[in-house]
């Protein structure tokens, strides 16, 4: 389903008109896409569940993002779910897709909440999407019990409820309550005042640091090349795909390509790392001095 140029109302109307899939048809479409890469089957599967994606996107409107953008992200999550869905596991596609749709929308909301990255860990994400709700509930419960909580006590209870450190709650509260300011704004009303950006420390590497960094990088690269030479072709391929790619491959995908089980790939990976470790240990004391 193409989403560009369509309003959220049009998208919702089209989604509601899409076919409803029974379990058997859904399974056939999933097999057709997984085994034969049948794009028509993929289109039917995604289109049928676009109403689910739109419904989940609507729950995130309170974060201020345009509904059309939320639907776009929900659609991307739905596509990822369809691509990774394994019909052999015996679960409905809608059950599996919910996680991917929600994750895609949440990542979008957090990326666009502020120019300053709000959070990246699972605990920070949980805090971002649950803190206000938990805070309101705790305040209601305290009021009903006739207890007055100060700001510190409330933060402590939120931290306990969500299962995160108190410092994370304090940080998130500041970020959610603040807004972004331009670093080019002046520090005073005077037009001749310094801009805030001028007060930032230059944290870029100086000339001496650059030379040392370049030398260290070259040494590390040399050690890595030597250690990789201790591996056979299959082990080298697994290490490259698992550790040296920007987006590491999964054990499952490598197993499918090599005709091996997931567990066998894991064993080969562990054996390869052991060989590389022995190779590094067999080199001069310089390695230990550098890493130590």
Check whether 212 has a pLDDT greater than 90. Answer: no
Asked if residue 277 belongs to a domain, the reply is: yes
Residues 65 and 24 in one domain: yes
Residues 126 and 105 in one domain: no
Residues 17 and 104 in one domain: yes
Residues 131 and 42 in one domain: no
Check whether 180 has a pLDDT greater than 60. Answer: no
pLDDT category, 81, cuts 50, 70, 90?
Answer: very high
- Percent of the chain at pLDDT > 70 equals 72
Q: Residue 242 and residue 249: Cα distance in Å, rounded? A: 5
Helix axes 50-58, 93-113, angle to 10 degrees: 40
Asked if residue 195 belongs to a domain, the reply is: no
Residues 13 and 106 in one domain: yes
Check whether 38 has a pLDDT greater than 90. Answer: yes
Those residues whose C-beta lies under 8 Å from the C-beta of residue 165, and which sit 6 or more positions away, are 159
Asked if residue 193 belongs to a domain, the reply is: no
Which CATH number belongs to the domain containing residue 241 in this structure? 1.10.10.10
Residues 100 and 23 in one domain: yes
- Give the chain's mean pLDDT: 78
Check whether 280 has a pLDDT greater than 80. Answer: no
Residues 90 and 37 in one domain: yes
Per the structure, the count of domains in the chain is 3
CB atoms within 10 A of CB 97: 25
Residues 147 and 231 in one domain: no
pLDDT tens profile 65-75: 788 888 989 99
Check whether 115 has a pLDDT greater than 80. Answer: no
Check whether 236 has a pLDDT greater than 70. Answer: yes
Check whether 23 has a pLDDT greater than 70. Answer: yes
Average pLDDT over residues 217-238: 83
Asked if residue 183 belongs to a domain, the reply is: no
Q: What is the pLDDT of residue 79?
A: 93
pLDDT tens profile 155-172: 888 888 888 888 888 777
Residues 43 and 76 in one domain: yes
Which CATH number belongs to the domain containing residue 30 in this structure? 1.20.120.1810
- Percent of the chain at pLDDT > 90 equals 22
Residues 41 and 99 in one domain: yes
Q: What is the pLDDT of residue 166?
A: 83
Domain boundary (93, 113, 133) is at 113
Domain boundary (81, 113, 145) is at 113
Average pLDDT over residues 50-64: 85
Domain boundary (68, 92, 113) is at 113
Average pLDDT over residues 124-151: 82
Asked if residue 192 belongs to a domain, the reply is: no
Check whether 206 has a pLDDT greater than 80. Answer: no
Contact 275, 231 (CB under 8 A): yes
Least confident interval from 34-48, 115-129, 199-213: 199-213
Residues 105 and 16 in one domain: yes
Domain around 168:
122-177
């Amino acid at each position: 389903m193409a989403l560009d140029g369509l309003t959220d109302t049009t998208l919702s109307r089209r989604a509601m008109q899409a076919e409803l899939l029974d379990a058997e048809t859904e399974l056939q479409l999933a097999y057709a896409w997984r085994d034969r890469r049948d794009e028509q089957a993929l289109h039917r599967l995604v289109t049928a569940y676009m109403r689910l994606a739109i419904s989940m996107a609507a729950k995130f409107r309170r974060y201020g993002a345009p509904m059309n953008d939320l639907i776009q992200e929900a659609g991307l999550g739905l596509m990822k779910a369809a691509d990774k869905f394994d019909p052999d596991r015996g679960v409905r596609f809608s059950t599996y897709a919910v996680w991917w749709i929600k994750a895609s929308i949440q990542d979008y909301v957090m990326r666009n909440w502020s120019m300053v990255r709000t959070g990246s860990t699972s605990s920070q994400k949980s805090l971002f999407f649950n803190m206000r709700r938990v805070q309101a509930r705790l305040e209601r419960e305290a009021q009903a019990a006739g207890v007055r909580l100060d700001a510190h006590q409330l933060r402590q209870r939120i931290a306990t409820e969500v299962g995160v450190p108190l410092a994370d709650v304090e940080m998130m509260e500041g970020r959610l309550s603040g807004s972004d300011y331009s670093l080019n704004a002046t520090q005073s009303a005077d037009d001749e005042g310094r801009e805030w950006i001028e007060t930032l420390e230059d944290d870029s590497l100086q000339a001496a640091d650059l030379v040392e960094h370049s030398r260290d990088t070259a040494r590390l690269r040399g050690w890595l090349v030597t250690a990789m030479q201790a591996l056979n072709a299959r082990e080298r391929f697994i290490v490259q795909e698992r550790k040296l790619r920007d987006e590491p491959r999964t054990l499952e995908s490598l197993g499918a390509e090599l005709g091996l089980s997931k567990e066998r790939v894991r064993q080969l990976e562990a054996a390869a790392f052991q060989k590389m470790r022995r190779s590094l240990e067999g080199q001069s004391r310089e390695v230990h001095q550098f890493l130590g």
